[in-house]
Every structure is written in C-alpha cells, then in structure tokens.
Amino acid sequence: MLPFSRVTIIGLGLIGSSLARAIREAMPTVRVTGHDADAGVREIARAIDLCDDVTDTAGASVTDADLVVLCVPVRAMGAAAAEIADDLPAEAIISDVGSCKADVLAQLNIALPGRTVIPAHPVAGTENSGPEAGFASLFRGRWCIVTPPADADPAAVERVSELWRRVGADVETMDPAHHDLVLAVTSHLPHLIAYTIVGTASDLEDVTQSEVIKYSAGGFRDFTRIAASDPTMWRDVFLANKDAVLEMLQRFSEDLSALQRAIRWNDGDALFNLFTRTRAIRRSIIEQGQDDPKPDFGRSH
C-alpha cells in the first residue's frame, strides 16, 4: 500500500522538484501538488509539468494533503510552516528535507503546535539549484536520515520512511542533535573549507584568475564545484547549525595547526603517519562497498 496519496511539496527548487519527479515516477497514482514563493519558479514548474497542480498560495496547496514536505532553505522553514497552519488538514503529516534538523524541528514545533512533524534529510544533492536542476533519480542509492522527535508516532515515522524508500533511498533514523553533529563534519565543514579555499585562491595578488582556472587540478576542481553551491541555502545551514559547526571547526583548526607545526619543524613522520591513517580510512570505506555517494555514518547509532 502506498504511504500517502496526496503529497504537497513547498519549495520547488533542486530538492523539491527532484522529489516531485521521483514520486511521480515511482508512485504515478499519488497526486503531487506544488507551491513556491517565487512566481517565476511556479511558472517554470507549470511549464515543465512538474506537478499535477501548482498553486499560487501556500494555503491552497495543502487543503487536502496527507503529507506536506517543506523543501525551502532551513531558516525559511518556520515561515513556510506558518503560512500553511490554518489550511492544513488535522491528520496531515508535515516533513521537510533540511540539511540540519534540530533548529528546523524547533521552528516547525513553534509554527505548527500539536501537529505530526516527522523531519527528514535526504543526503543527496548537487551544487545546482532551482526547478530545472532536479532529476528523478537523485535519491536512488542515497541515504535519507529521518529524525523524528522523541514522542513521534511510530506509524507516522514508518510512512515517511516508506516514501523515501519508494523513491530509492536507504533510510536511517537518528536523533536530530546527533544528525547535526555528524553532518557538521561530513557535509557542512567540507563546504566551509571549499568556500574558504576557493576564496583564498581568487584573492591571491600574485596568481591570476586564469592561472587558478587553468591549473585547477583534481582536488581544487572538486572544491570549486562545491563552492558553487547555493549561497542562500548554505548561509542558512551555517547559521542554523551554528553550535555543531563551530565545535567541528574548533577541532579542525586544532588539527590544522598541528599540521602547520609539523611542516614548519620538518616533522615528516607526523605528516606521513597522518596521511597513512587517512589513506586507510578511504580504503576501508571502499572495501565495505560504501564509496561515495553513501558513506557509513550513523550505522552504529
């Protein structure tokens, strides 16, 4: 049996449009309604026939929904939820796809008191954004981490989990605060490092922009892809997951200082030992068949 029959997606960018496409492909009888605050996005969504219906107001999109998935930047979740509060059917489940979870859960609980809120995070994406960047297979073979509140109804958790399984994801459940700590080091900090290193390279006085582009070998090229990610989305992630990111950044800075010291004092053993350890980590990930794009975090939790 299908977990839901009428799904509303609010925010029709990369993730919302990918979810709409994936649901329509995997569950063609499910009615998908969409809404986006941006009239231009709504126009594109209609033109590419993204959903069965695209409404001009958020309220109109949820009146008969049995699931509403908020796919907006994390600091816009509360406002998006407040807009649908008066029109939401009593039995509807509200979920989201935000990249951090504790702050989003708090926003949703304030905007929608007493409602069934089951947050989730598909750990799948790209550096692109907008309705035309999405694709139906985005979630296939990727993790989706469901982060229910402690008192969540298990049947509601199972329905949300089943939706993500149907679009191809492997589902784990995790405590929201633990999710935020894990993702701070596996996703948020790497993005911060990419933003920094690309900024640093482009600020160099003695190296031209064309040299940066021309000689961007493997590693730096990957950083430039990540540093091209959506500025609004990532500004929101760093501010909403501030504590966990600052904690991981502190540890990272200490480790970086240790490396700096090793280079300064010609401590080749320290460098060699670290690089040997990190190479073994990468190899064990590959041996376990968990190479990119699906690392093994959260499994033991």
Ligand X SMILES: O=C(O)C(=O)Cc1ccc(O)cc1
Ligand Y SMILES: NC(=O)C1=CN([C@@H]2O[C@H](COP(=O)(O)OP(=O)(O)OC[C@H]3O[C@@H](n4cnc5c(N)ncnc54)[C@H](O)[C@@H]3O)[C@@H](O)[C@H]2O)C=CC1
Taking CB under 6 A as the binding criterion, the range among 1-9, 122-130, 166-174, 200-208 that sits at the site for ligand X is: 122-130
119 sits near ligand Y (criterion: CB under 6 A): no
Is the preceding peptide bond at 131 cis, omega within 30 degrees of 0? no
Q: How far is the CB of 180 from ligand X (least distance, A)?
A: 11
72 sits near ligand Y (criterion: CB under 6 A): yes
Binders of ligand X: how many residues, by CB under 6 A?
A: 8
Give CA–CA dist 13/196, Å, rounded: 25
From candidates 38, 52, 87, 127, binder to ligand X by CB under 6 A: 127
Give CA–CA dist 100/236, Å, rounded: 9
Q: How far is the CB of 116 from ligand Y (least distance, A)?
A: 20
> Are 149 and 29 within 8 A, CB to CB?
no
Give CA–CA dist 229/111, Å, rounded: 28
> Are 137 and 167 within 8 A, CB to CB?
no
93 sits near ligand Y (criterion: CB under 6 A): no
Name the packing angle between helices 218-226 and 189-203 (round to 10°): 110
- Which option in ligand X, ligand Y, none does residue 78 bind, with CB closer than 5 to 8 A by kind? none
126 sits near ligand X (criterion: CB under 6 A): yes
> In sequence order, what are the residues at sequence separation of 6 or more whose Cβ sits closer than 8 angstroms to the Cβ of residue 203?
none
- Which option in ligand X, ligand Y, none does residue 7 bind, with CB closer than 5 to 8 A by kind? none
**Nearer CB in complex with ligand X: 112/194:** 194
123 sits near ligand X (criterion: CB under 6 A): yes
> In sequence order, what are the residues at sequence separation of 6 or more whose Cβ sits closer than 8 angstroms to the Cβ of residue 200?
none
- Which option in ligand Y, ligand X, none does residue 112 bind, with CB closer than 5 to 8 A by kind? none
Terminal alpha carbon distance of the chain: 29
233 sits near ligand Y (criterion: CB under 6 A): yes
Across 118-174, the runs of DSSP E, i.e. the strands, are 120-122, 143-146, 170-173
176 sits near ligand Y (criterion: CB under 6 A): no
What's the Cα-to-Cα distance from 223 to each of 38, 219, 227, 275, rounded to whole Å? 30, 7, 6, 19
From candidates 23, 169, 226, 227, binder to ligand X by CB under 6 A: 226
From candidates 8, 95, 99, 107, binder to ligand Y by CB under 6 A: 99
The C-alpha angle with vertex 69 and arms to 136 and 47, in degrees rounded to 5, equals 50
Q: Show the site string, 129-168: x = touches ligand X by CB under 6 A, - = not.
A: ----------------------------------------
Token pair of 225 as six digits? 């892809």
Give CA–CA dist 131/153, Å, rounded: 32
From candidates 7, 9, 14, 248, binder to ligand Y by CB under 6 A: 14
- Which option in ligand X, ligand Y, none does residue 226 bind, with CB closer than 5 to 8 A by kind? ligand X
From candidates 3, 7, 9, 11, binder to ligand Y by CB under 6 A: 11
- Which option in ligand Y, ligand X, none does residue 97 bind, with CB closer than 5 to 8 A by kind? ligand Y
The C-alpha angle with vertex 63 and arms to 62 and 66, in degrees rounded to 5, equals 65
> Are 159 and 128 within 8 A, CB to CB?
no
Q: How far is the CB of 258 from ligand Y (least distance, A)?
A: 31
10 sits near ligand Y (criterion: CB under 6 A): yes
Give CA–CA dist 167/179, Å, rounded: 21
Which residues contact ligand Y by CB under 6 A? 10-16, 36-38, 41, 71-74, 76, 79-80, 97-99, 122, 125-126, 129-130, 230, 233, 237
